[in-house]
């Protein structure tokens, strides 16, 4: 299997520059500061505790993990948002599209380059992350689960950035649009449940979302939580709650009492590990959808067909304007009529010659 040429070129070029070295240095410096700050807080909290202080060091794992995921969420869209728009600004986009690579392979090459660079940072942070496992006594499998989650979130962020890069001509506009997409996934996915809860407790709309059967009230309002399946914050909260406590935060959403019962698909998804599994599948599906849209956007065949269609529309409009102008002119001179007939005769002769050929 041949390696994607874009990955080979970009990784080779960027690994030889000092930017990646300074980037890793800044990344490790931030993690070191967060590590020492967390150590100070843990020491202060357990100063008068008679228990084992080393057991509290397991909280270094979520602190360092969340710090890394926040950094990746900020830098990965910036890298991919300038991938296509940067080629346009350097006027190398058309040259790149003349190669034998398909648009989707070009998009995947740009995305995988950003993911590989982000994984450089994650791998470089493993020694600091390992302290919570060596001293705190956590299972080493959680370290690999964190690596998988970081890979998923990097892929999702990279797909957003590459889509915005294919839509914009300037890198700055693409970066702003990428953070706008972030805002949609962070805020818009939480709005339905917030509005449903507010309306249900402030009016009688709650009873429109439920029905009574005997003495039991069946509710469907909790199904609005399904929108949170595409919320990255909720995904990470559920992941770390399950890691640290062994329980699921979403298990408490469907409630069954002697008075009320929850109905709908939320009962199936919010049990066990199904929430994380379904959310992971949705993030991957949305990411590949964004990649497909970006590849379709930069497809030169599609753009050429669209350009030709616009040219035909412009020519048709220009011809209609000319015909209207000719009809509105009251009289035309004999010289204009003769010149028009001569042009028509030349066109007819040209058409006959082409048919003969």
- CB neighbour list of residue 126: distance below 8 Å, 6 or more residues apart: 143
Predicted local distance difference test score (pLDDT) of residue 48: 66
Over range 221-240, report the average pLDDT.
81
Query: Rounded to whole angstroms, how far apart are CA atoms 204 and 334?
Result: 83
Q: Which of 123, 125, 115, 73 is nearest to 233 (CA)?
A: 73
Over range 301-317, report the average pLDDT.
64
Least confident window among 135-139, 256-260, 302-306: 256-260
| Predicted TM-score (pTM) above 0.85 | no
Neighbouring C-alpha atoms within 13 Å toward the C-beta of 258: 0
DSSP-derived secondary structure for 159-228? HHHHHHHHH-SSHHHHHHHHHHHHHIIIIITTHHHHHHHHHHHHSTHHHHTEEEETTEEEE-GGGGGGGG
**Cβ atoms < 10 Å from Cβ of 277:** 11
DSSP-derived secondary structure for 123-144? HHTHHHHHHHHHTT---THHHH
Whether residue 78 contacts residue 158, with contact meaning beta carbons closer than 8 Å, is answered with no
Q: How confident is the model at residue 201 (pLDDT cuts 50, 70, 90)?
A: low
Query: Rounded to whole angstroms, how far apart are CA atoms 14 and 9?
Result: 9
Least confident window among 61-65, 207-211, 217-221: 207-211
Cα–Cα distances in Å, from 102 out to 11, 294, 295, 343?
20, 12, 8, 45
Residue 289 has pLDDT above 70, yes or no: yes
Q: Which of 238, 242, 229, 232 is nearest to 269 (CA)?
A: 229
Q: How confident is the model at residue 79 (pLDDT cuts 50, 70, 90)?
A: confident
Least confident window among 68-77, 110-119, 124-133: 124-133
Residue 257 has pLDDT above 50, yes or no: no
Ranked by mean pLDDT, which of 144-158, 242-256, 327-341 comes out on top?
Answer: 144-158
Kindly state the DSSP code that residue 262 receives in the 8-state scheme.
E
**Cβ atoms < 10 Å from Cβ of 180:** 11
Cα 97 to its chain centre, rounded Å, is 24
State pLDDT tens for residues 85-117: 888 888 888 888 887 888 888 898 889 988 988
Predicted local distance difference test score (pLDDT) of residue 322: 72
Q: How confident is the model at residue 45 (pLDDT cuts 50, 70, 90)?
A: confident
Whether residue 20 contacts residue 113, with contact meaning beta carbons closer than 8 Å, is answered with no
The residues spanned by each domain of the chain are: 5-305
The more confidently predicted of residues 353 and 61 is 61
Predicted local distance difference test score (pLDDT) of residue 287: 92
Tokens of 295: 């590849």
- CB neighbour list of residue 48: distance below 8 Å, 6 or more residues apart: none
State pLDDT tens for residues 179-190: 888 888 888 888
Whether residue 113 contacts residue 11, with contact meaning beta carbons closer than 8 Å, is answered with yes
Predicted local distance difference test score (pLDDT) of residue 13: 79
Question: What percentage of residues in the chain have a pLDDT greater than 90?
Answer: 8
Ranked by mean pLDDT, which of 54-58, 164-168, 199-203 comes out on top?
Answer: 164-168
Predicted local distance difference test score (pLDDT) of residue 303: 56
């Amino acid at each position: 299997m041949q390696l994607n040429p874009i990955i080979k070129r970009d990784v080779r070029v960027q690994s030889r520059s000092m930017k990646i070295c300074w980037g890793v240095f800044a990344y490790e410096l931030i993690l070191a500061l967060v590590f020492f700050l967390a150590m100070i807080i843990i020491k202060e909290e357990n100063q008068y505790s008679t228990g084992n202080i080393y057991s509290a060091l397991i909280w270094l794992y979520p602190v360092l993990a969340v710090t890394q995921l926040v950094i990746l969420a900020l830098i990965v869209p910036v890298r991919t948002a300038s991938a296509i728009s940067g080629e346009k600004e350097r006027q190398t986009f058309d040259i790149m599209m003349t190669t034998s690579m398909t648009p989707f392979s070009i998009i995947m090459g740009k995305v995988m380059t950003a993911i590989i660079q982000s994984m450089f940072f994650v791998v470089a942070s493993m020694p600091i992350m390992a302290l919570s496992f060596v001293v705190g006594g956590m299972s080493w499998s959680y370290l690999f689960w964190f690596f998988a989650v970081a890979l998923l979130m990097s892929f999702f962020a990279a797909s957003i950035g590459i889509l915005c890069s294919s839509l914009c001509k300037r890198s700055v506009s693409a970066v702003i649009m990428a953070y706008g997409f972030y805002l949609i996934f962070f805020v818009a996915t939480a709005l339905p449940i917030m509005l449903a809860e507010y309306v249900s407790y402030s009016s009688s709309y709650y009873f429109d979302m439920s029905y009574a059967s005997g003495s039991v009230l069946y509710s469907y309002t909790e199904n609005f939580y399904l929108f949170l399946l595409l919320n990255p914050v909720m995904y990470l909260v559920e992941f770390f709650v399950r890691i640290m406590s062994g329980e699921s935060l979403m298990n408490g959403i469907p409630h069954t009492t002697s008075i009320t019962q929850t109905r709908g698909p939320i009962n199936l998804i919010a049990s066990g590990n199904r929430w994380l599994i379904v959310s992971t599948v949705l993030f991957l599906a949305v990411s590949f959808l964004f990649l497909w849209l970006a590849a379709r956007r930069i497809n030169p065949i599609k753009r050429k067909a669209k350009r030709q269609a616009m040219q035909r529309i412009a020519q048709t409009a220009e011809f209609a304007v000319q015909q209207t102008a000719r009809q509105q002119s009251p009289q035309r001179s004999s010289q204009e009529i003769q010149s028009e007939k001569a042009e028509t005769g030349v066109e007819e002769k040209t058409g006959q010659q082409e048919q003969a050929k």
